[in-house]
Amino acid sequence: MKFVLASASPARREVLRSAGIDPIVRVSDVDEDAIAAALPEGTAPDVVVVELARAKAAAVAATIPELAADCVVVGCDSMLLVDGELQGKPHTAEVARARWGEMAGRSADLVTGHCVLRLQDGRITAEAIDCSSTTVHFAKPEPDELDAYIATGEPLQVAGAFTLDGLGGWFVDRIDGDPSSVIGIGLPLLRRLLGDVGVAVTQLWGHPAG
């Protein structure tokens, strides 16, 4: 059985590899902003990230006929929930700086939507979705530290403008919840979702991609 990760995130890939799964990586071309904007006003944050994860998984599942005989496709989407507002990737230094101005010295929830699709004989035979949430307690970087961090470019392309497993880890005091979920793919939740589609995670251990 093949495990397909519908994500370009090297952090998600490394979490899986460290946990015994070497995924086949296929990147979806979905417009995340358009999908989120199309959801009804007031859609709950956990529903937003789950729908984004589902869209990514479905888009990739439609493009892998060579793998569809027997595989699982996993899509994920992470955002930081600050004062009731979801924050994705900042993309610019100005936005990253503004977000750190809001969250430094405070706590926020990193929510990650997960979607697992089981493909057999060329069609989707099962789907499992859910969201994980982990509270992140941020430190207060000194101005020169924040300048240096933003200058690296790392916070510009990650949800919430920080990482736990990279340079941003220096500015996280602690977390309450699953660390792998903060990195972008929650192993405890993923294990349960795989079980929901009839796949034991142990079936996927040690099977190289390709």
DSSP letters for 144-160 = HHHHHHHHTSGGGGSGG
Instruction: State the Cα–Cα distance between residues 149 and 79, nearest whole angstrom.
Output: 20
Cα–Cα separations (whole angstroms), residue 9 to 12, 15, 23, 159: 5, 10, 12, 11
Cα-trace Rg, the chain:
17
* 3-state secondary structure at position 9: coil
Can 29 be counted among the known catalytic residues?
no
Catalytic residue among 77, 109, 130, 178, which? 77
Catalytic residues: 77
